[in-house]
Amino acid sequence: MLSRLLLRIPWGAALLLVAGGAVTGAVLLFLLAGPYFQRTYRNDADPLAATRPAPTTAAPSSASGAGATGSPVPMVANPPPTGPAAATAQLLREGSFRDGDPGHNGEGRARLIRAADGGYVLRLEEFSVTNGPDLFVILSTDPSGSRGSATAGDALNLGKLKATDGNINYLIPEGTEVSAFQSVIIYCRAFRVVFAIATLEASS
Amino acid sequence: MTDTNHAHPGWRYPQGSPLGNAARRIPETAAASLSAGGRLAAAAVAVAVVISQDYDRTRMAAGALAALITLTVAPLWSRAARSLEWMGAGLAFFGGAALAAAGPAWLMLPAGGLAAAAIAVREAHRRRVPDVLAFFAAGAVVGGLVAVMVLTLEG
């Protein structure tokens, strides 16, 4: 039927219609379906790392040199700053990601951190999510992270998802009242689908 | 000037289009070889994607596309062969678009386009109306395949 319709119009126009339709279909599939078959990785520095004791192994000074014996002694590299004036990053709240709408899976942790410089950072840690088109990271005031809350007026869009896997930081705009936010939603704006949710709870 | 279209009895196939005339200058045997060759090349690329990629969802989709495209080359259904040819080219073209970012999968797209052009040349030789509907239906099949992969395989 489509072929007959095409035969009723000039051949040049028919060719343009078919070629245009094919290219449009291919571009749509690339943009909308393509992301489901891609993985991307990112590893941002942990804002809390400077304040965490990071045990390293180092030989004691008395055991240096060839043939020295003795067990390695754990030492703390870059000890956290101490004293009342020292500014340290602090984990405020965190939660584990769970699956969103059917067929859309997420895992890892969401951590709300006050950085050493006083700013706020949302960190997705050991994070992995089903890839998809037009994905955004949303801070929501709804603990359940429902679909509607992702687009509610009080939700905060932190920007496009930077990668499907890894450790990813998002700066929260200055002046944001972070205590209002109860969940993190990975949300597909194009199809209004929730890919993953993490409910934020007070850090122990 | 018109000619009877064998695929649609009673339908008169318009003649004299420069495109049809140009197509008929290409040997039909060459077009037949390019049609099958393009689809087989696309299926081979899909197999290469299965081997080279480590993401299960991509591998499953590429494997399914390789199988479907290969089926359209096999002379199994004589009555549906013509539509299957077009669908095979469409599966390669649209499947290549959907998987374009996965290694060599983008090569399926030109292979499918080449196969479609070759099938159109054969249709011109046989004075048949190109079954472009089957070609575009393949896009819907690819879309359905993506939906099945997304809903059944954990990503």
**Any bridge partners for residue A125, and if so which?**
A109
Q: What is the pLDDT of residues A97-138, one digit of tens each?
A: 999 998 889 999 999 999 988 899 999 999 999 888 889 999
For range A52-79, the mean pLDDT: 38
Q: Collect all residues with Cβ–Cβ distance below 8 Å to B122 and sequence separation of at least 6.
A: B28, B31, B32, B35
- Say if residue A107 is in the same domain as residue A178: yes
How far from A93 is each of A79, A96, A182, A184, A198, CA to CA, in Å?
23, 11, 9, 11, 11
Give a yes or no: residue A129 inside a domain: yes
Contacts of A1 in chain B (CB under 8 A): 133
Give a yes or no: residue A114 inside a domain: yes
Mutation target vs B (from A29, A31, A131; most B CBs, 10 A cutoff):
A29
Instruction: Give the separation between CA A85 and CA B4, rounded to whole angstroms.
Output: 92
- Say if residue A22 is in the same domain as residue A37: no
Two structure tokens written together for A45? 């520095």
Q: Which amino acid is at B113?
A: G
Contacts of A3 in chain B (CB under 8 A): 129-133
Q: Picking from A2-11, A97-106, B77-86, which range would have the lowest pLDDT averaged per residue?
A: A2-11
Instruction: Give the separation between CA A169 and CA A181, rounded to whole angstroms.
Output: 17
Domain extent, residue A23, equals: 2-31
- Say if residue A114 is in the same domain as residue A183: yes
- Say if residue A37 is in the same domain as residue A7: no
The ipTM is 0.82
- Say if residue A18 is in the same domain as residue A95: no
CATH of the domain at A142: 2.60.40
Mutation target vs A (from B146, B148, B151; most A CBs, 10 A cutoff):
B146
**Any bridge partners for residue A76, and if so which?**
A55
- Say if residue A19 is in the same domain as residue A109: no
How far from A110 is each of A23, A78, A114, A125, CA to CA, in Å?
40, 25, 13, 6
- Say if residue A19 is in the same domain as residue A111: no
Instruction: Give the separation between CA A160 and CA A157, rounded to whole angstroms.
Output: 8
For chain A, what is the domain count?
Answer: 2
- Say if residue A96 is in the same domain as residue A27: no
Give a yes or no: residue A80 inside a domain: no
Give a yes or no: residue A6 inside a domain: yes
Give a yes or no: residue A54 inside a domain: no
Is residue B44 pLDDT above 50, yes or no?
yes
Instruction: Give the separation between CA A121 and CA A140, rounded to whole angstroms.
Output: 15
What pLDDT does residue A108 have?
A: 96
